[in-house]
Structure 1
Amino acid sequence: MELRKEPSAGPAPSDEPVRPAHGERQPARGEGCLVVAIRIPVRIVTLVLVVPVRMVWDVLVVGARFLNDTVLRPVGRALLWLGRAVFVWPFVGLWRYVVVPVGKGLAWLGKVCVVVPAVWVYRWVLTPLGHGFGWAYRRVLTPAGHAVLWVLRGVGAQIAAAAGAVCAVLGVLARYLVAVPALWLYRWVLTPLGHALAWCGRGLAWCARMVVTGVGAALYWTGRVLFVLPALGLWRWVLVPVGRVLAVVGAELWAALAHAWRVAGHISLAVGRALGRLLRRIFVEPVRWVYRGVLTPVGHAVRDTVLRPAAEAARGAGRAVRQALGSARASARQARADVRRMLLGERVPARAVDRREPSGAEGRTLGGSTTALTKD
């Protein structure tokens, strides 16, 4: 017996189907020549037709995004703020500062005018009345009701005995005058008559069923021959093949449209990038070069040669003007002081008065000169 395993000649074939890449259509098994003959022309025609549509679509998408970012979103925010200012905030203020205080006032008024009087009436009027009614019910109405019930029970027993006797007599009369004749009539007259009518009805129903069955069979075969068989042949030999061809054409057309839409997207992206680069080379780069190579040095030169000296001169002139104004104000103050001195004379300086309290060593007396009031 051989225990060693034979080495395999190659890797075992995998039974798992190969999955297509993302965006690719999985090839169908056993595609015929009709599918292959339809696929290439349809894809070419759809690509030619879809590329302009896709480019227009991309332009519209970019324009819509730009319009949304620059116009619609700010306008929407402004309208939202305006709507809040016009509708929301007034109602909030009305609710907060009018409705809520008025509601609290009405609640307090209702409590004072309705709840408190109702509680007082319930506590001091209805509760004593209810207690009095309960006492009357227990002490007066209940014994009276028991007495009336005992009387009614006695009268009811007498009436029930009399009614029982009358009912027994009426039952005997009804049995022999109504029930026995009715039973005899049902057994010997109505039952044979009903059996005869039932037998006649079953015969008529059988005849009608046979007639309807024959007419139905004739109509069935007539409709089958005139309508069903031609419709079945039309469906099987005409509509099914045409539908299969249309299904293949539709599937290929849908796949061609999807493929053309993806390819048109790549073409539109490439065209957009090329236009962007062209606009950058034509407009952005020259403007940037002019800004960096011409305007920036000229601006720096103007700043260093004109603006900074002009600013220094303006600051120096401002300082000189401020010093001149300060000197003029000082001269004016001195002139006013000289004029006041010539007209009014020198101001006599006030003599300093010692208003401090006397020390503790000096005694205070009413007639002495050591107090603060009599001190020279």
Structure 2
Amino acid sequence: MGMVDLEKAPGAGPREESARRSDAEGCLVVAIRIPVRIVVLVLVVPVRIVWDALVVAGRVLRDTVLRPFGRALAWLGRAVFVWPLVGVWRYVLVPLAKGVAWLGNVLLVVPAVWVYRWLLTPVGHGFAWFLAGVGAVFAAVGRGLYAGLARLARYLVVVPAAWFYAWVLTPVGHALAWCGRGLLWCLGMVVTGVGTALYWTVRVLLVLPALALWWWVLTPVGRVLAVIGREVWDALGHAWRIAGYVSRAVGRFLGTLFRWTVAEPARWAYRSVLTPVGHAVRDTVLRPLAEGARGVGRAARQALDSARLSVRQARADVRRMLFGEPVKARPVARREPSAAEARTLGSSTTALTKD
């Protein structure tokens, strides 16, 4: 199969490729493919229809219920948690933190800086000068003591240790190394022999039977299972696509059936029956009732106005009987002449010369 695919002509069409593939695969693959695709198609079509129905229901539920509910929850969360927290942060915590920072600066930072600058720094400089003098004295003493100890250690420790290493430890180490190399050679020979024996034992008892089982049992069975699995996978893909077409056709059929059995009769009933009946009810019943109700309302308002006017007149009569007529205000003399005394266009008399 691999050589056939690699040596395929670049201009070969899909029909030639499928023919070559079927010829190369053999009758076993073809015999497995047809029943597997039939069984998978029968099993997958109901699953695909149910899946498409669930997808449609989920979209409707998302658009009509979950999305508005989520928006309401988001608004409620902002109103209950976010806005109060923002208000507390902005109008309580931030001013409080600024006040605490200012108070800490005044009570801690400024005094600490003053103490460091005017108290600790001079004391530290004096102490450092004292320690520098003491250190110089101890350094001179230490250098002399170190030179004496170094010379004493050289002649008492280093020279005897070098002589002991050169004339005692080196020959003993060479002898021990020679003995160790011989012992290691012996152990290597023993381990090599044991390893060779174990290698051939494991090869004869385990490796060769495992290779025979792999080549003559597991490889053919694996190839058959691979062919079956590939065919089942391809059959699932074809069946899923065919089930999609079937589900789409079923959905369109159900939609058309719902349209002609429910939607169109309801639309016809609304347009042809309910609308004329509603117009007739509106023209013959509702409008006269509305006119009658408006007439009753006008009569009631007129009766209320008449009753209010009668009550007002009765109150005025009672007030007149109890307290008498109200005192009328005297008219105030005006500087301008009245209309009767004013000069007219057709008279020569005026208000000043009239008797």
Pairwise CA distance, 1:185 = 3.6
Name 2:258's counterpart in structure 1: 279
Structure 1 CA distance for aligned equivalents of residues 191 and 99 of structure 2: 86
Structure 1 CA distance for aligned equivalents of residues 300 and 329 of structure 2: 40
Cα shift readout 1:222-257 (whole Å, capped 9, x = no counterpart): 211111111111111211111111111110110001
Q: 1:116-265 to 2 correspondence within 5 Å?
A: 116-118=110-112, 121-122=114-115, 126-127=117-118, 145=133, 163=148, 167=151, 178=160, 182=164, 185-186=167-168, 191=171, 197-265=176-244
Name 1:94's counterpart in structure 2: 88
Q: The residue matched to 1:350 in structure 2 has which SS?
A: coil
Unaligned runs of 5+ in 1: 1-13, 357-376
Q: 1:1-376 to 2 correspondence within 5 Å?
A: 15-18=10-13, 28=21, 30-118=24-112, 121-122=114-115, 126-127=117-118, 145=133, 163=148, 167=151, 178=160, 182=164, 185-186=167-168, 191=171, 197-330=176-309, 332-334=311-313, 337=316, 347-353=326-332
Structure 2 CA distance for aligned equivalents of residues 35 and 338 of structure 1: 118
Cα shift readout 1:70-122 (whole Å, capped 9, x = no counterpart): 33334433443444444334433332333233323323332343344445x44
Structure 2 CA distance for aligned equivalents of residues 130 and 223 of structure 1: 82
Q: The residue matched to 1:278 in structure 2 has which SS?
A: helix
Cα shift readout 1:294-326 (whole Å, capped 9, x = no counterpart): 111010011111111222232233333334443
Q: The residue matched to 2:25 in structure 1 has which SS?
A: coil
In the superposition, relative to structure 1, how do residues 334 and 91 fare at CA in structure 2: closer, same or farther (>3 Å)?
A: closer
In the superposition, relative to structure 1, how do residues 267 and 108 fare at CA in structure 2: closer, same or farther (>3 Å)?
A: same
* TM-score, with structure 1 as normaliser: 0.68
Cα shift readout 1:99-158 (whole Å, capped 9, x = no counterpart): 233323323332343344445x44xx9538856986x799xx69x959x969996x899x
Paired residue type of 2:52 = D
The root-mean-square deviation of aligned C-alpha atoms, in Å, is 4.3
Structure 1 CA distance for aligned equivalents of residues 286 and 138 of structure 2: 129
Paired residue type of 2:267 = R
Structure 1 CA distance for aligned equivalents of residues 40 and 98 of structure 2: 74
In the superposition, relative to structure 1, how do residues 126 and 232 fare at CA in structure 2: closer, same or farther (>3 Å)?
A: closer
Give identity over the alignment, percent: 63
What is the number of residues matched between the two proteins? Answer: 323
Which one has a larger percent helix, Structure 1 or Structure 2? 2
Structure 2 CA distance for aligned equivalents of residues 202 and 156 of structure 1: 50
Pairwise CA distance, 1:337 = 5.0
Paired residue type of 1:105 = G
In the superposition, relative to structure 1, how do residues 248 and 327 fare at CA in structure 2: closer, same or farther (>3 Å)?
A: same
Q: The residue matched to 1:274 in structure 2 has which SS?
A: helix
In the superposition, relative to structure 1, how do residues 282 and 204 fare at CA in structure 2: closer, same or farther (>3 Å)?
A: same
In the superposition, relative to structure 1, how do residues 114 and 264 fare at CA in structure 2: closer, same or farther (>3 Å)?
A: same
Pairwise CA distance, 1:35 = 1.6
Q: Which moved more, 1:82-91 or 1:264-273?
A: 82-91
* TM-score, with structure 2 as normaliser: 0.72
Paired residue type of 1:77 = R
